[in-house]
Structure 1
Amino acid sequence: MYNPATFSETDPKVIADLIDSHPLGMLISGGAGGLRASPVPFFLKRSNEFALVAHLARANDHWKDLEALRECLIVFQGANNYVTPSWYPSKAETGKVVPTWNYETVQVRGVPRVIHDTVWLNELVTDLTHRMESKRPEPWAVADAPENFIDAQLKAIVGLEITVTEVTGKWKMSQNRSRPDALGVAAGLANTDDPHHNLLAADKVRSRNR
């Protein structure tokens, strides 16, 4: 993707935090069936190799393409928002302003491996469930469901492990504007009376324009 140095993010922790907090990635590949895109929740597997793991419905033919491919792309989208030029102090000074869109995104390229082993799949869904349920007062666990029901569910999915080969992070948060304009964006986003207010995005803009 187009990624000017002003917006480029290379810190592995920052990138990992975005994936952890926005795990629904768009899995994209091109194969015999043409271009395919599937929204899939991924999570990071931190071991000797940086990898992403997930599962797909067996009825989704996307996995059949992936078995024959050596590369795929996953796009993760973080905070994003419309930016009105009315938030820029420079609007009153020069009038030379236009709207834009702020966003944070991570693109991951990697080698896909489709996994059919039910033991691996059971470990995957157990781990994923724990990650998503652990902060609930009464977390649900895979073991709470009847064993024969879980066995049937596992037969309806395939596992996916992506060995990561390239990661690109882009945090476009008004860094290309003057500091007064950037702070104007943050103030506009923080204004709950504004139809485009977004408190999380306001904090992101401030943190990138100190």
Structure 2
Amino acid sequence: MFQPKKYQKKSPSYIFDFIQAHPFATFVINGKELLATHIPVLVKGTPEKFLLYGHIAKANEQYDLIEDELEALLIFQGPHSYISSSWYREKDISTWDYSAVHVNVKLKIQSPEELVDSLEKLVEHFEKEEENPLLYRDIPKKMIEDHLPLIKGFWMEPFKVQGIAKLHQGFHSEDVEAITKNLEKKENSLASELSKHIKKEHDTRY
């Protein structure tokens, strides 16, 4: 990943929190060509030492390529938006603010028992905020039995982790204030969320 020094994020806590906050990842492996799938990925462990886990469908062209020790790249992306230079005090070049974490991993196929356990945790993670959550164990048994042979679960052990947050570091406070105000005017949830990230970056540095 291209990482100008002033935008690098190396703190294990930043990386860990970022993955938890943005769990829908781009999962990239190399077959006859580069192949990418968008999947939910959860993290297990601590900021200093963690595993990731997810699964893909049998119909996915990546399915037959998944094997132990295969290298993959996970891309987690935060909010992003175009930043107009018309918002600055002086004329400058427009840009794009964003944040992302890249994790290079080695894969290990889950056992059937590990797959069931990880699916239970995955569903619980995303259902817990629902008014009437439907947990994995509450799904009809026959449906689960039919579904399990059609997916492959795997652990992902990180061996290289990179974080970046390009949030107008080094800019004058008046420009930063103008950027956040203009982002908040947009009818766009990503722009609004990006504004919060920029404010946090300029208030507290990881």
Task: Give the TM-score of the pair, scaled to structure 2.
Answer: 0.89
**% of aligned pairs identical?**
25
Question: Which residue of the other structure, out of 101, 119, 123, is the alignment partner of 2:117?
Answer: 123
Shift of 1:114: 2.4
1:111 aligns with 2:88: no
Alignment of 1:188-199 (within 5 A): 188-190=182-184, 192=185, 194=186, 198-199=191-192
Q: Show the counterpart of 2:56.
A: 56
Query: How many Å separate the matches in 2 of 1:22 and 1:74?
Result: 12
Question: Which residue of the other structure, out of 179, 185, 204, is the alignment partner of 2:173?
Answer: 179
Supply the AA of the counterpart residue of 1:151: E
Question: Which residue of the other structure, out of 80, 93, 112, is the alignment partner of 1:98?
Answer: 93
Query: How many Å separate the matches in 2 of 1:45 and 1:68?
Result: 19
Query: How many Å separate the matches in 1 of 2:68 and 2:77?
Result: 27
Shift of 1:162: 0.6
Shift of 1:49: 4.5
- Give the ranges of 4+ consecutive aligned residues of structure 1 lying more than 4 Å apart after TM superposition: 194-197
Give the conservation status (yes or no) of the 8 Å contact 1:183–1:205.
Answer: no
RMSD: 1.9
Task: Give the TM-score of the pair, scaled to structure 1.
Answer: 0.88
Shift of 1:118: 2.1
Q: Show the counterpart of 2:15.
A: 15
Give the conservation status (yes or no) of the 8 Å contact 1:83–1:100.
Answer: yes
Tell me which structure has the larger Cα radius of gyration.
1
Shift of 1:107: 0.2
Query: How many Å separate the matches in 1 of 2:164 and 2:70?
Result: 25
Shift of 1:160: 1.4
Give the conservation status (yes or no) of the 8 Å contact 2:98–2:165.
Answer: yes
Query: How many Å separate the matches in 1 of 2:125 and 2:187?
Result: 34
Give the conservation status (yes or no) of the 8 Å contact 1:24–1:76.
Answer: yes
Supply the AA of the counterpart residue of 1:200: E
For structure 1, list consecutive stretches of 5 or more residues without a partner in the other structure.
none
Q: 1:8 to 1:112 in 2, by over 3 A?
A: same
Shift of 1:161: 0.9
Partner SS state of residue 79, structure 1: coil
Give the conservation status (yes or no) of the 8 Å contact 1:26–1:38.
Answer: yes
